[in-house]
């Protein structure tokens, strides 16, 4: 038991310790961003491999989360005679919370781990040194395109997740549970607010995209050049990335919810 | 007045492409180079020999500016290699081709794109010209037929030949080969030796061959530098080295296990070590 | 080259899909969809109190959504809540003596405007005002009254 506590303490210390390294790496990336956007070829390739290839998982996830959400909230709502609000309930939960958070978590597991191990393996097989020796900046060529691609992909994936989730909720709510179709949509329009809900959802997913993608390139770039180092980079990306997403979500929700 | 390292200029730059002056370097408490001095003449093939673990790969990293010496200076074309200015470093590296021991091809690109990579990064040549140059370089290493293969589909020797084509594609002034002969079959070995010689003479470039293969060095090199214990122990033509009287040089050139070069990594005595382990 | 085009196509579709989703979410929440953007006419009604009726809340008759609340203001003369509604032109046969009340869909549901048809043969037209209204029943007030009443006895 004390071993576990010790592990936890060490983990926590490391977590805090890497914070400084995060900052330094982040400020190293910043000046590259405008330049990278002028050469979109590499970014497009990365959007393909981390965004487009995550699409099926995200859509699948969104669909099922939406359906479960409808089933789950129906039983509660019907007791208060408010089954018509099912659509609004599901939509609000999806747009504000579940879309950004679950899509980002899925993204961290599917794409960020892949990026971390890919970059880590490039370091282990001396490809990063080879780039340096060919006078090609690995940060510009490897790191920044992956980072930007992640930042672009996550908000899009989150929006797709929410939309598909609403369709899932619609299918269950209207076709399975018999909620009136007009009431389903019109309640969404009344209850879900464009600025408060949709905009805050997009903002959240953007912030999650930045932190998850950053974790991936950071861990990959600083991976130890060994088999264990590469696998550890992938694991840490998913674990620390997910913790970050949940932590930031809590903070942002606190700031954004009116009256909290 | 103290001269800043980055402002260092040399007057021998006409005859020597690379000069290494009083270089000291240590990893942790382990001294790797302790006042290294030699120069690499233009247009020649220089072999750098030395027992395993003397720091030959480290020397390559120093010359290419991946690490900086603790003391002393390395000059390329009479200008100091200084990792302090990224721009100057990259400008210098464009004139250097490095052949890694492992090849270090980019695994997400096929053979053709790997060789074309430096051209695409540093030039704005039209596609047609790039194709011609790349196919020519691949032809010279005998792998034009494999242009569509991915690096994972190549053998170690083939990968190294592709890497050689890539190192040559920018027509560098200096090309550094790190262990080009390790793990090659006799035919490939012959091919690589010939390639190194031909590219050196035909393109008029300077070559550094890092190796411990004495036999190939004798055929290939114009000049050899033997490193040991952090200093140059002998330098000269291969013939001169072979006739050197020094016991250490003889040991290395003849491949004797017994002699001044220790076979063992420094550490406590064997018996002592076993005792210490047993009592702990 | 062939592969590069496939990648471009995939990325293009992905971005379109993503932007389409964002637009879908915005449209759903802003009420840009449905008949509301089609042909409508306007009705007004004055209430003593609208409760937490919101803009875009449905206007229903016999449970069927026929329109939407467009605007809620306070009348500068009599200080009552002035609710403007957009009603679909499909429903141009509402009797002129219909009455409007603010109802809620269940305990957790939002408020909406419920129209009760009257018996007059004359129908409501654009910019007409519904005369008979019934304000929102405020749950808090009901509970408060009940509790105070209970305490007095
Ligand atoms: N990253 C490192 N950290 C610490 N020590 C290192 C590192 N890389 C190399 N060394 C040490 O530096 C010494 C020289 O290593 P180097 O790779 O330059 O040897 P080498 O001459 O190329 O050997 P070989 O002929 O076997 O390739 C070795 O003794 C090694 O222990
Ligand atoms: Mg070596």
pLDDT tens digits, residue range B76-134?
887 888 766 778 888 888 888 888 877 788 888 889 999 999 988 888 888 899 999 89
Residues C2 and C55 in one domain: no
Instruction: Tell how strand B96-99 and strand C99-104 pair up.
Output: unpaired
Q: What is the DSSP string of B180-248?
A: TTTT--HHHHHHHHHHHHHHHHHHT-EEEEE---HHHHHHH-SEEEEEETTEEEEEE-HHHHHT---HH
Q: What is the pLDDT of residue A164?
A: 95
Is the pLDDT assigned to residue B201 strictly greater than 80?
Answer: yes
Q: What is the pLDDT of residue C106?
A: 63
Average pLDDT over residues B25-51: 87
Q: What is the pLDDT of residue A186?
A: 76
C152 located within any domain: no
List the pLDDT tens digit at each of the 260 positions of chain A.
577 788 788 777 777 777 778 888 888 888 888 888 888 888 999 999 999 999 999 999 999 999 999 998 998 888 877 787 888 888 889 998 899 999 999 999 999 999 999 999 999 988 998 898 888 889 989 999 999 999 999 999 999 999 999 999 999 999 998 888 877 887 787 777 777 788 889 999 999 999 999 999 999 999 998 999 999 999 999 998 999 999 999 998 888 765 44
Is the pLDDT assigned to residue C152 strictly greater than 60?
Answer: no
Q: What's the CA gap between A84 and A86, in Å, rounded?
A: 5
Q: Which residues of C touch A166 (CB under 8 A)?
A: 28
Pocket test for ligand 1, best of B36, B51, B57 (most atoms within 8 A of CB): B57
Q: What's the CA gap between A209 and A205, in Å, rounded?
A: 6
Residues C9 and C64 in one domain: no
Q: What's the CA gap between C60 and B31, in Å, rounded?
A: 87
Q: What is the pLDDT of residue A109?
A: 93
Q: Which residues of A touch B86 (CB under 8 A)?
A: 137
Taking the centre of ligand 1 as the mean of its atom positions, its distance from the CA of residue B229, in whole angstroms, is 12
Residues C23 and C81 in one domain: no
Which residues, other chains included, contact B140 with Cβ-Cβ below 8 Å and sequence gap of 6+? B165, B168, B195, B198, B199
Write b or e for each residue in B129-164: b if 16 or more Cβ atoms lie within 10 A of its Cβ, otherwise e: ebeebbbebbebbebbebbebebeebeebbbbbbbb
Do B107 and A134 lie within an 8 Å CB cutoff?
no
- Indicate the burial class of B250 (C-beta count within 10 angstroms; 0-12, 13-18, 19 or more): middle
Q: Report yes or no: A92 at the C interface, CB cutoff 8 Å.
A: no
C63 located within any domain: yes
Please report which confidence band the pLDDT of residue B258 belongs to, taking 50, 70 and 90 as the band edges. low
Q: Report yes or no: A203 at the C interface, CB cutoff 8 Å.
A: no
C94 located within any domain: yes
H helix count then E strand count, chain B: 10, 10
- Helices of type H across C31-105: none
Q: Report yes or no: A88 at the C interface, CB cutoff 8 Å.
A: yes
Question: Which ligand is closest to the CA of B54, given by its number?
Answer: 1
Is the pLDDT assigned to residue C1 strictly greater than 60?
Answer: no
Q: Which residues of B touch A28 (CB under 8 A)?
A: none
Residues C1 and C63 in one domain: no
Residues C20 and C45 in one domain: no
Q: What is the pLDDT of residues A17-42, one digit of tens each?
A: 777 788 888 888 888 888 888 888 88
- Structure-token match 């001095």, residue found: B37
Helix (H) or strand (E) holding C32: none
Residues C54 and C127 in one domain: yes
Cβ contact A83:A103 at 8 Å:
no
Residues C27 and C48 in one domain: no
Write out the residues surrounding ion ligand 2, Cβ under 5 A: B 57
Which residues, other chains included, contact B275 with Cβ-Cβ below 8 Å and sequence gap of 6+? none
C151 located within any domain: no
Do C22 and A166 lie within an 8 Å CB cutoff?
no
Q: What is the pLDDT of residues C118-128, one digit of tens each?
A: 888 888 888 88
Instruction: Tell how strand C58-61 and strand C64-74 pair up.
Output: antiparallel
Residues C71 and C111 in one domain: yes
Please report which confidence band the pLDDT of residue B137 belongs to, taking 50, 70 and 90 as the band edges. confident
Cβ contact B188:B157 at 8 Å:
yes
C153 located within any domain: no
pTM: 0.79
- Indicate the burial class of C58 (C-beta count within 10 angstroms; 0-12, 13-18, 19 or more): buried
* ipTM of the complex, rounded to two decimals: 0.83
Helix A99-107 / helix A227-256 crossing angle, nearest 10 deg: 170
Residues C22 and C55 in one domain: no
Give the angle C142-C148-C151 at the CA atoms, nearest 5°.
140
Q: What is the pLDDT of residues B204-218, one digit of tens each?
A: 888 999 987 788 888
Which residue from A45, A77, A192 is facing C29, i.e. has the nearest CB? Answer: A192
Question: Which ligand is closest to the CA of B211, given by its number?
Answer: 1
Residues C74 and C128 in one domain: yes
Is the pLDDT assigned to residue B180 strictly greater than 90?
Answer: no
Do A82 and C15 lie within an 8 Å CB cutoff?
no
Ligand 1, atom 3: closest residue by C-alpha: B27
Instruction: Tell how strand B45-49 and strand B71-76 pair up.
Output: unpaired
C-alpha A186 chain-centroid distance: 30
Residues C122 and C107 in one domain: yes
Residues C74 and C2 in one domain: no
Q: What's the CA gap between A211 and A216, in Å, rounded?
A: 9
Q: How many CB atoms lie within 10 A of CB C63?
A: 11
Touching chains, C (3+ CB pairs < 8 A):
A
Lowest-confidence range among B176-185, B265-274, C136-145? C136-145
Give how many domains chain C has, as a whole number. Answer: 2
Which residue from A125, A132, A134 is facing B118, i.e. has the nearest CB? Answer: A134
Please report which confidence band the pLDDT of residue B1 belongs to, taking 50, 70 and 90 as the band edges. very low
Is the pLDDT assigned to residue B6 strictly greater than 70?
Answer: no
Q: Return the closest-CA partner of residue A87 out of A204, A169, A172, A24.
A: A169
Q: What is the pLDDT of residue C12?
A: 92
Q: What is the DSSP string of A182-201?
A: HHHHHHHHHHS-IIIIIIHH
Which residue from B104, B121, B166 is facing A125, i.e. has the nearest CB? Answer: B104
C149 located within any domain: no
Average pLDDT, chain C: 80
Where in the sequence is the domain holding C21, given as residue range(s)? 1-33
The residue ranking higher by pLDDT, C35 or B257, is B257
Q: What is the pLDDT of residue B138?
A: 87
Q: What is the pLDDT of residues C49-87, one digit of tens each?
A: 887 787 778 888 887 778 888 888 898 888 888 999 888
Q: What's the CA gap between C134 and A138, in Å, rounded?
A: 70
Q: In what order do the strands lie in the sheet with B45-49?
A: B96-99, B174-178, B206-210, B45-49, B223-228, B231-236
The residue ranking higher by pLDDT, C10 or B157, is C10
């Amino acid at each position: 038991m004390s071993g576990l506590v010790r592990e936890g303490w060490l983990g926590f210390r490391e977590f805090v310790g890497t914070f400084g390294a995060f900052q330094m790496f982040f400020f190293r990336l910043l000046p590259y961003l405008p330049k990278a956007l002028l050469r979109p070829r590499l970014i497009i390739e990365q959007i393909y491999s981390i965004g487009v290839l995550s699409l099926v998982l995200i859509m699948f996830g969104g669909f099922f989360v939406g359906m479960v959400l409808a089933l789950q909230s129906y039983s509660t709502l019907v007791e208060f005679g408010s089954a018509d609000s099912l659509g609004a309930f599901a939509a609000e939960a999806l747009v504000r919370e579940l879309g950004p958070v679950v899509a980002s978590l899925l993204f961290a597991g599917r794409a960020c781990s892949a990026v971390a191990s890919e970059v880590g393996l490039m370091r282990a097989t001396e490809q990063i040194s080879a780039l340096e020796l060919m006078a090609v900046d690995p940060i510009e060529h490897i790191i920044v395109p992956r980072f930007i691609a992640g930042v672009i992909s996550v908000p899009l994936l989150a929006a797709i997740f929410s939309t598909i989730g609403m369709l899932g909720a619609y299918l269950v709510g209207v076709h399975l549970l018999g909620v009136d179709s007009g009431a389903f949509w019109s309640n969404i329009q009344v209850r879900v607010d464009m600025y408060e809900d949709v905009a805050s959802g997009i903002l959240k997913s953007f912030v999650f995209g930045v932190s998850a993608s950053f974790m991936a390139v950071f861990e990959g770039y600083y991976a130890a050049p060994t088999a264990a180092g590469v696998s550890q980079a992938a694991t840490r990306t998913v674990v620390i990335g997910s913790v970050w997403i949940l932590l930031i979500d809590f903070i942002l929700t606190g700031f954004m919810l009116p009256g909290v | 007045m103290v001269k800043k390292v980055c402002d260092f200029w040399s007057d021998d730059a006409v005859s020597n492409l690379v000069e290494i002056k009083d270089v000291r370097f240590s990893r942790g408490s382990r001294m790797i180079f302790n006042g290294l001095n030699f120069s690499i003449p233009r247009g020649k093939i220089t072999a750098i020999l030395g027992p395993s673990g003397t720091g030959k790969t480290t020397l390559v990293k120093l010359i290419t500016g991946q690490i900086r010496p603790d003391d002393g200076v390395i000059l390329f074309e009479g200008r100091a290699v200084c990792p302090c200015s990224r721009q100057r470093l990259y400008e210098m590296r464009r004139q250097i081709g490095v052949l890694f021991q492992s090849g270090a091809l980019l695994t997400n690109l096929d053979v053709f794109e790997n060789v074309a990579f430096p051209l695409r990064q540093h030039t704005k040549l039209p596609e047609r010209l790039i194709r011609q140059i790349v196919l020519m370089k691949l032809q010279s290493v005998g792998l034009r037929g494999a242009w569509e293969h991915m690096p994972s589909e190549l053998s170690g020797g083939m990968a190294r030949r592709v890497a050689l084509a890539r190192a040559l594609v920018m027509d560098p002034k200096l090309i550094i080969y790190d262990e080009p002969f390790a793990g090659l079959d006799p035919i490939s070995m012959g091919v690589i030796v010939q390639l190194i010689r031909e590219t050196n003479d035909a393109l008029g470039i300077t070559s550094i061959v890092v190796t411990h293969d004495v036999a190939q060095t004798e055929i290939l090199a114009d000049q050899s530098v033997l490193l040991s214990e952090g200093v140059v122990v002998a330098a000269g033509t291969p013939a001169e080295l072979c006739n050197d009287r020094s016991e250490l040089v003889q040991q290395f050139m003849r491949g004797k296990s017994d002699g001044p070069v220790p076979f063992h990594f420094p550490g406590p005595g064997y018996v002592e070590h076993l005792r210490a382990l047993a009592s702990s | 080259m062939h592969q590069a085009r496939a990648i471009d196509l995939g990325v293009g579709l992905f971005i379109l899909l993503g932007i389409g989703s964002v637009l879908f979410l915005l449209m759903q929440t802003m009420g840009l969809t449905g008949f509301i953007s089609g042909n409508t006419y306007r009705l007004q009604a004055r209430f003593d109190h609208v409760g937490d009726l919101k803009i875009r809340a449905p206007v229903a008759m016999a449970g069927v959504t026929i329109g939407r609340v467009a605007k809620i203001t306070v009348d500068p003369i009599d200080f009552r809540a002035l609710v403007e509604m957009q009603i679909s032109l499909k429903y141009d046969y509402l009797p002129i003596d219909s009455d409007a009340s603010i109802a809620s869909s269940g305990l957790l549901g939002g408020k909406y405007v419920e129209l009760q048809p009257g018996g007059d043969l004359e129908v409501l037209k654009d910019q007409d005002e519904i005369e008979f209204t019934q304000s929102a029943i405020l749950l808090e007030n009901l509970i408060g009254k009940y509790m105070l009443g209970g305490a007095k006895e």
